[in-house]
Structure 1
Amino acid sequence: MTTSVSPLPTDRAGIMSALSNLGQVDLAIIGGGATGLGVALDAVLRGLSVVLLESCDFAKGTSSRATKLVHGGVRYLAQGNVALVREALHERSTLLRNAPHLARPLPFVMPGYKCWETPFYGVGLKMYDALAGKAGLGNTQFLSARQTRACVPGVKAAGLKSGVKYWDGQFDDARLALVLARTAAAQGALLVNYCPVTELIHEDGKVAGLQCQDAETGLSYVVRARCVVNAAGVWVDDIRHKDGDALGRATQAMVAPSQGVHLVVDREFLPSDHALLVPKTEDGRVLFAVPWLGKVILGTTDTPRDDLAREPRPFASEVEFILGEAAKYLERAPQRSDVRSIWVGLRPLVRQPENEGGATKKLSREHTVLVSPSGLVTVTGGKWTTYRAMAEDVLEKCAESVWHTPLAACRTANFPLVGAPSDASARPSITTAPGLNAYGTEAPCVNQLPGADIELAPGLTEAMVRFGVRYEYVRSVEDMLARRVRLLFLDAALAAQLAPRVAALVQEETGIDAKLDEFLALAQQYHTLPD
């Protein structure tokens, strides 16, 4: 079974016309990242009328900048948070089942250079297996030094004593966000990118809707809603302040952002389909070396940050940390000149507001759902793996605190996303270069478009660009090269090289400026390391 084989067009004029003709909806969602999109799909499948507004492109922020792991959270187990790990492991298997074209099991190897490391971590990972139960992806194995090198040929041999292998998952975050949006739209939700919310509408002290503005035309629209969900990620406080200001009420900041930096290098540094994990570096952080779409991701950091830039820059110390730690564990140490792309994601770490006077629910899975006195429902924190469970919690809070009525049962646990093949055994590897495999059952639809035989780069054809505009909400060259295909995140210089041709195709399809100059500046940023 698949959700959709014949794609639903994403015609901008039709979308904006539908927005202008909306009556009151059950749910208006602010934010088109993992959480907001998960809420949209869950809500529409329960029979609710839904509109979602995103100020930029879907997954433009944190939701396209993850470490690409679908995981239960080994480090949470070490902290004794068994409930969180059990839930995340359950959600891991759900995601792998519902989007097998975008997510796959991935084996990890922890190399041991001290005698105590392998037995110590191995026992914990056996517990990880036990918690997963039938949802496990493979058994933890103790490895000799020779077996460890066979699994991860790029690992440093000097001093290697043993290793331990365990299983987690991997996915394409931006494309998963996109298929969530498209699946929700196919079920009747209205999703609009490049349409920031400018104001909240209040009546008798309660949120009754919002005002938004089309970033392309400047036209404003009013959306009336029985409930408004603020799922703007690290930017939720901007919306909360609008809510508080309108009612003359002070609001405390809810998010303390932290940034994670990722460096991408060629596969030659880790020529394996296994990921490398160092659970504790000298300063206590975790180091990953993860094969992804033909490259290797090195990271990540966890550094507090005060500002909320849309395109945050890495600190020089973060780059030095990643390269320095990688040099300790990889036979061939990556140099600054080896970095193909560098990107930064902001993580919304939650600090619980106090004395807000509203109903607050602090949940075990590191996210928070809060209802303000006006009825604005805010959700932030959490992680990609548990997006679906987060959406359930949000809708339960809407029903309990805003609508005061029960909802139909959640249907997302067994609902395949757009493009999902019916046979999960046909799951493609996503450690190889990107291409048509990311489209799942829609690959034949892509190949029916003009330019299917014109390859712009390995894994990218003209037809894929046209499909992006016609069916995947693409409005600029950045949308296409950063999030529909992941070239900006894999090789920024190559993305810049291809950008003029891709921009011409996008402009031909949309009739608007594809923002080539802005993308070239962005690609330069992704290819420039701080001094």
Structure 2
Amino acid sequence: MNREYLIHQLQETNSWDIIIIGGGATGLGAAVEATTRGYKALLLEQLDFTIGTSSRSTKLVHGGVRYLEQGDVSLVFEALNERGLLLKNAPHLVSNQTFLIPSYAIWQKPFYTFGLIIYDLLAGRKSLGKSRPYSRKNTIKKLPNLIRKNLRGGITYHDGQFDDARLGLNLAQTAIENGATILNYFKVVNLLKENGKVTGVIAKDQETGKTYQIHAKSVINATGVFADGIIKIDNPKAKKVIQPSQGVHIVIEQKFLQSDYALLIPKTKDGRILFAVPWHDKVILGTTDEPKEKPVIEPIATEKEIDFILETAGRYLINKPTKKDIKSIFAGLRPLPAPDDKEETKEISRSHKILVSKSKLITIIGGKWTTYREMGEDVINKMEEILDITHKKSITEHLKIHGYHENPDFKNPLYFYGSDQEKIQKLINQNPKLGEFISEKLHILQAQVVFAVQNEFARTAYDFLARRTRAMFLDAKEAQKIAPKVIQIMAVILNKDSNWQEQELKNFNKVVKDYLVKI
């Protein structure tokens, strides 16, 4: 799976059935769908896989309790079905998480119990466990740090939790194993056209600067919040189709929950919900929903958003987190379909839409991680329809994703590698020094860096510390501390000199500062 071999495949192929632009959840899902149907598929990502929205989620594979409240029953039903499939196809990355909703008003427990019974019924045989009400005493046992005053009890329900960036990576590997060519750091700079129809792309290798003209029968724009950019290349007069909405999360220590249960705060002061979710021995708090004018690659959390999360969590927790307790901050942009004038971003449907231009450029927007597979299936169905070719049945409902490993030990720091754990152990057996920690705090081994470069397309320290491991999301200061050692190991494998190492460290420090709290 090295880059040179994949570029060789690119050069040796005269024409592709499909080119997918964008290496996030949507694009990677489409690539797996296309290649498993037997199409010759190429995916190009301008930076790293899942660098944007797809690595910055709340880490939930869920039907969406909030969407049920909004009356979007069909979306909830679809998402619950897809949640069940993901748990079956990627058990090394998806786990069953219990959530608790505290009840402080007399009406809350019956109201949420009724809603969650419907949620359970919609899940059917793919249910992860029944919801149930708890007394005040048992609620405190489940979440000892909950504020007691006026607490009447609570309701628990089950949903899925996952590692978003690792799933994205495993989808890229799955696509390649099934015949696709997938490249990161390959930017589409223009579209090829013939008789007014899109016939391919012009793409630039971001590492060498070399450009390629690549022909295809169909091109899919799966660039998320950047979809308008590709649409404007196709048609400069096209209307805006994306409304970016920023979601911020902060990461704190597990002691603030003192529990394996996640906390769902059902209504914040501005009508949203807030999660406190255990993840990799930390707790994720989030999220916000702030509309943004333009998409950026590295969105930055505002003081207002950080304060909102801390203040909301503090209204429910005895031991209240403060800014000095924040281990990491991350912000992502949701690619919501552009709303009607009166809609707020929290009201915009998370369903996906497929748009086809006059030139036959296919664009897919909206959606969420949980429904990535269904989105891929829908967009490849649309491609078949446009090309007027025989429909090929999807097989991805029952496709095991790379790394598939039954009954993983989630207490093992390397659990998220699934079946690839054996390959990391093999590296250590060959060179015991690779078994030494780079970070004992985050349980990161030297072997993981080697494996990431050789097998997981990691090209920069940022790739490794943010998306091959989740160091930057879990403890940004620790990630900054170990970056020089990571770069040193990467330089040896990539055959890079000291100038590259120096520049790489500068690049990393420039990015990591936005994950650090400013006190």
Q: Aligning the two structures, in what range does the TM-score lie when normalised by the shorter sequence?
A: over 0.9
* SS across alignment from 1:329: coil
Structure 1: runs of 5 or more not aligned = 1-9, 354-362
What's the CA shift for 1:351? Answer: 2.1
Q: Residues 160-199 of structure 1: matches in 2 within 5 Å? A: 160-199=151-190
Q: Residues 513-528 of structure 1: matches in 2 within 5 Å? A: 513=500, 515-528=504-517
Q: Residues 334-483 of structure 1: matches in 2 within 5 Å? A: 334-351=321-338, 366-401=351-386, 403-421=387-405, 423=406, 426-429=407-410, 435-449=413-427, 450=431, 451-458=433-440, 459-483=443-467
Once the two structures are superposed, what CA deviation does each residue of 1:411-462 show, in whole Å capped at 9, x if it has no partner? 11001111101x3xx1333xx5x73111111101111113442111232111
- 2:107 is equivalent to residue 123 of structure 1: no
CA contact (8 A) 1:446 1:452 kept: no
What's the CA shift for 1:352? Answer: 7.2
1:69 corresponds in structure 2 to 60
Choose from 29, 46, 49 the match for 2:37. 46
2:309 corresponds in structure 1 to 322
What's the CA shift for 1:308? Answer: 1.2
Once the two structures are superposed, what CA deviation does each residue of 1:212-241 show, in whole Å capped at 9, x if it has no partner? 001110001111000000000000010000
Once the two structures are superposed, what CA deviation does each residue of 1:54-113 show, in whole Å capped at 9, x if it has no partner? 000000000000000000011111122211111100000001111100010100000111
* SS across alignment from 2:19: strand
Deviation larger for 447-456 or 80-89: 447-456
% same residue = 44
**Residue type of the partner of 1:282?**
K
- Structure 1 CA distance, aligned partners of 2:294 and 2:492? 37
CA contact (8 A) 1:99 1:416 kept: yes
**Residue type of the partner of 1:525?**
D
- Structure 2 CA distance, aligned partners of 1:270 and 1:314? 23
2:26 corresponds in structure 1 to 35
* SS across alignment from 2:217: coil
**Residue type of the partner of 1:444?**
E
RMSD: 1.5
What's the CA shift for 1:314? Answer: 1.2
2:345 corresponds in structure 1 to none
- Structure 2 CA distance, aligned partners of 1:385 and 1:19? 31
* SS across alignment from 2:304: helix
Once the two structures are superposed, what CA deviation does each residue of 1:27-57 show, in whole Å capped at 9, x if it has no partner? 0000000000000001000000000000000
2:74 corresponds in structure 1 to 83
* SS across alignment from 2:16: coil
What's the CA shift for 1:407? Answer: 2.5
1:310 corresponds in structure 2 to 297
- Structure 2 CA distance, aligned partners of 1:160 and 1:138? 24
- 2:485 is equivalent to residue 485 of structure 1: no
CA contact (8 A) 2:243 2:339 kept: no
- Structure 2 CA distance, aligned partners of 1:169 and 1:477? 29
- Structure 2 CA distance, aligned partners of 1:447 and 1:404? 48
CA contact (8 A) 2:275 2:285 kept: yes
TM-score under structure 1 length normalisation = 0.92
- 2:16 is equivalent to residue 25 of structure 1: yes
What's the CA shift for 1:307? Answer: 2.2
- Structure 2 CA distance, aligned partners of 1:364 and 1:503? 42
Residues 41 and 51 of structure 1: CA distance in aligned 2, closer, same or farther (over 3 Å): same
Choose from 287, 296, 312 the match for 1:300. 287
Once the two structures are superposed, what CA deviation does each residue of 1:467-513 show, in whole Å capped at 9, x if it has no partner? 00000000010100000000000100000001000011111111243
Residues 394 and 252 of structure 1: CA distance in aligned 2, closer, same or farther (over 3 Å): same
The alignment covers a number of residue pairs equal to 501
TM-score under structure 2 length normalisation = 0.94
2:241 corresponds in structure 1 to 254
CA contact (8 A) 2:185 2:206 kept: yes
* SS across alignment from 1:285: coil
- Structure 2 CA distance, aligned partners of 1:169 and 1:152? 19
* SS across alignment from 2:156: strand
* SS across alignment from 1:196: strand
CA contact (8 A) 2:66 2:273 kept: no
- Structure 1 CA distance, aligned partners of 2:339 and 2:512? 37
Choose from 448, 458, 482 the match for 1:498. 482
Once the two structures are superposed, what CA deviation does each residue of 1:304-328 show, in whole Å capped at 9, x if it has no partner? 1112111111122111110101100
CA contact (8 A) 2:462 2:508 kept: yes
